[in-house]
């Protein structure tokens, strides 16, 4: 009997391995890649995550101003409705008296404007100062 395919299999295996490109070095993260990821997390992701509560408060202020404008008939009622909603939504950045209420010639409320700043501590003495403003028509 002779050799039945033993030599043939080795030759095919060598051809298969030679078809794949050879890599000079190992795969995975290098020290520089890790450094870039750490800098990204510290410089971008951390401040973004820390500013989320102030962004949620901004949307609450916007919603409360819209609610006050829809329900109120005059400036005094806008302040009252906003303050009531601010207690419910736990808004501390803006009070009803801080709102700028614009009326038309007939006394109807045209718009309710607000603007405020909030400071978000990032790390150590570094903090972000964010200015929020909005108008409810």
Overall average pLDDT of the 85-107 stretch: 95
Mean pLDDT of 74-103: 96
Going across the sheet that includes 100-103, the strands are 100-103, 109-123, 126-136
Mean pLDDT of the chain: 87
109 burial level (CB within 10 Å; 0-12, 13-18, 19+)? buried
pTM of the prediction? Answer: 0.73
**Helix (H), strand (E) at residue 26:** none
Average pLDDT value for residue range 95-106: 94
- Distances in Å between the Cα of 91 and the Cα atoms of 18, 54, 59, 79, 97 are 67, 10, 10, 14, 13
Q: What pLDDT digit, counting tens, does each position of 18-64 carry?
A: 555 655 566 678 999 999 999 998 889 989 999 999 999 999 999 99
The ranges assigned to domains in the chain are 52-136
């Amino acid at each position: 009997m002779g050799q039945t395919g033993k030599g043939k299999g080795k030759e095919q295996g060598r051809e298969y391995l030679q078809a794949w490109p050879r890599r000079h070095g190992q795969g995975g993260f290098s020290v520089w890649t890790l450094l870039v990821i750490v800098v990204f997390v510290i410089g971008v992701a951390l401040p973004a995550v820390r500013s989320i509560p102030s962004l949620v408060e901004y949307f609450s202020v916007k919603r409360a101003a819209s609610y006050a404008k829809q329900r109120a008939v005059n400036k005094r009622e806008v302040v009252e409705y906003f303050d009531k909603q601010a207690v419910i939504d736990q808004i501390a950045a803006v009070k009803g008296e801080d709102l700028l209420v614009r009326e038309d010639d007939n006394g109807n409320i045209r718009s309710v404007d607000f603007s405020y700043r909030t400071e978000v501590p990032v790390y150590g003495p570094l903090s972000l100062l964010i200015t929020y403003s909005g108008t409810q028509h």
